[in-house]
Amino acid sequence: MNVAAIAPDEAMALEHATAAPMLAQVERWAAINSGSRNLAGLAAMAGELANAFATLPGDLYLLDPTPVDAVAPDGARVDLAHGRNLHLKVRPEAPVQVLLTGHMDTVFGVDHPFQGLNWIDAGTLNGPGVADMKGGIAVMLAALAAIEASPLCRRLGYEVVLNSDEEVGSPGSAALIAQAARGKVAALTYEPSALPDGTLAGARPGSGNFSIIVTGRAAHAGRNPEDGRNALVAAADLALRLARTAGPGLSVNPAKIDGGGPNNVVPDHAVLRVNMRPMTPEDEIRGRAALDAAVEEVAALHDVSIHVHGGFGRPPKPMDAAAERLYILVKNCGAELGLPIGWRATGGVCDGNNIAACGVPVVDTMGVRGGAIHSGEEYLIVESLGERARLSALVLLRLAARGRP
């Protein structure tokens, strides 16, 4: 640690961050199953987080999600429920405004076998969500509590959004995040580090998920197949055409086809599920244009109707000049704390994509060090709780003092 570079009031705030009961919080929160579809578990988790974040000043609410629908296997549109989202607003009149985000949901449903905590060794905790991202939420809270103990807090206002649906693309919380991003000089999101050594995620691709409903015409497969319009064949043709549009800057994954029925019936419906990942905004435009062209061609060739549901919920997140300045600030703060900080491009997506699309520079892997996320081997490196809490606190103090990244 470069003690000479850290002012006495900063040092006091860093000590405050380290003293927070982060490990106990992670253990308590990880014991609550908050899978994205477990509404009861999400409600319990939201209550825990509301109590924890109520120790900060400001106005705290648990907000209902934006209504969302999805396409069922039979092509019907159905409402899709999500949990409430925590929103905290502190000092909106302060001259420097930042956004901090995290998610309370995990990928582990209530019926998933991975539910308990296990100590791998004295410094490594295995458990659902310990890294992604209940550990990150504990780090965020510790850093904000440290800021409140600093005289610089009067210069810093912030909004916190902890959503309930990040692991399924944030459909019910994207509007809240976009609203909270307005007017912010910077944002920090508490996904775990890209690598166990603390490396941050830099540029990210975008992601679009589409459910493409194909409606044909049923007929007897033996007596009059020529009168039918085979929706399953049309969906398969569309899948192949879309797969061929992949190339540099755009990955395309036709993932599933729902539909079909008895062997003696020409199927009259199918639903094709497709994911696209563009590297740049231009690639996103190209991907959507390719999708629209393929749909038009297949509809005409097979004499079927096609409806596209979905879109690019995660815009691409390139590393622009403003983002690089924020990353350099984080790197310099890390150096003063004795923490080597680097970053690299990654293939994953998160709420950082949406924040960057609002024109706000964001570092979206300010959470803990750990690994094996989204698996039963997920783990948290416990010493990183204190490390990352100090890092966040120092970054926020420097933003408060400088007014910009």
What residue ranges define each of the domains in the chain, with the CATH number in brackets? 3-204+317-402 (3.40.630.10), 207-314 (3.30.70.360)
Average pLDDT value for the chain: 97
3-class DSSP state of 354: helix
Average pLDDT over residues 162-175: 98
* Neighbouring C-alpha atoms within 13 Å toward the C-beta of 81: 8
**Is the model's pLDDT at 175 over the cut of 90?**
yes
CB 85 within 8 A of CB 50: no
Percent of the chain with pLDDT over 70: 99
- Which strands form 59-63's sheet, in the order they lie side by side? 59-63, 85-90, 156-163, 96-103, 186-189, 362-363
Mean pLDDT of 277-288: 97
The answer to whether 329 touches 366, Cβ cutoff 8 Å, is no
CB atoms near residue 284 (< 10 Å)? 24
The pLDDT of residue 45 is: 98
Alpha-carbon 200 to chain mean position: 15
Beta strands 186-189 and 362-363, pairing class? parallel
Identify the band that residue 132 occupies on the pLDDT scale cut at 50, 70 and 90: very high
Q: Tell whether the model's pLDDT for residue 338 goes beyond 90.
A: yes
Mean pLDDT, rounded, for 363-391? 98
pTM equals: 0.96
Whole-number pLDDT of residue 5: 84
Cβ neighbours of residue 13 closer than 8 Å, sequence gap 6 or more: 146, 147, 149, 150, 393, 394, 397
pLDDT of the residue at 323: 97
Q: For the residues 199-207, what does the mean pLDDT come to?
A: 97
In 6-163, DSSP assigns E strands to 59-63, 68-71, 77-80, 85-90, 96-103, 118-121, 124-126, 156-163
pLDDT surpassing 70 at residue 1: no
Residue 3: predicted pLDDT: 58
pLDDT at 4: 60
Largest CA distance in the chain: 87
